[in-house]
Amino acid sequence: MPALLTANPLSSRHRTAGAIRRYIYVLVAGLLAYSWAPAHSLDLADYRGKVVVVDFWASWCVPCRQSFPWLNAMYDEYTDDGLVILGVNTDVDADEAQQFLEEIPAKFEIVYDPEGELAREFGVVAMPSNYVFGRDGELDTRHLGFLRSRRDEYEAVIQRLIAEPVVENPGD
């Protein structure tokens, strides 16, 4: 099992993002609607050299409805600078997630975790929860909930990590 997933990822700030090999469903945007894509493996190691925000959300979560426009804005602003946002939906019913996304579309990739396995591996205790990994693959920051009044603080973390140099071969 990857280092990140051997225990609560927050137990050590220096655990690497490593490979997250979980078979989960990916929600991909269509022109007018969302459709469920076949299962595949999500591997955070594929994003090494990028700043990665993993955002756990659910359709019933009111703060999630507030965070999505902000996440979309971050995606627009920083994707070309190396930001990747992965939204992880924890709804048991895919239709509820789909309805949410029809109302508040995501510009970033959405993965579906109906069994909550990935959420358990990350130690998610609140919605939304987001985990920000630096270019070196290390967990840098965790945010529980979403407060509009803290958007500048959240963005400052992304800006700081994007400003760091790309690590070619971390751990070598």
Q: What is the pTM of this model?
A: 0.75
pLDDT digits (tens, 9 = 90+) for 118-136: 888 888 999 999 999 999 8
Strands 83-89 and 51-57: parallel
Torsion, Cα 97 98 99 101, to 10 degrees, reads 90
**Domain boundaries 26-163, CATH class:** alpha beta
pLDDT digits (tens, 9 = 90+) for 12-28: 333 333 333 332 333 32
Would you list the domain boundaries of the chain? 26-163
Q: What is the DSSP string of 42-95?
A: --GGGGTTSEEEEEEE-TT-HHHHHHHHHHHHHHHHHGGGTEEEEEEE--SSHH
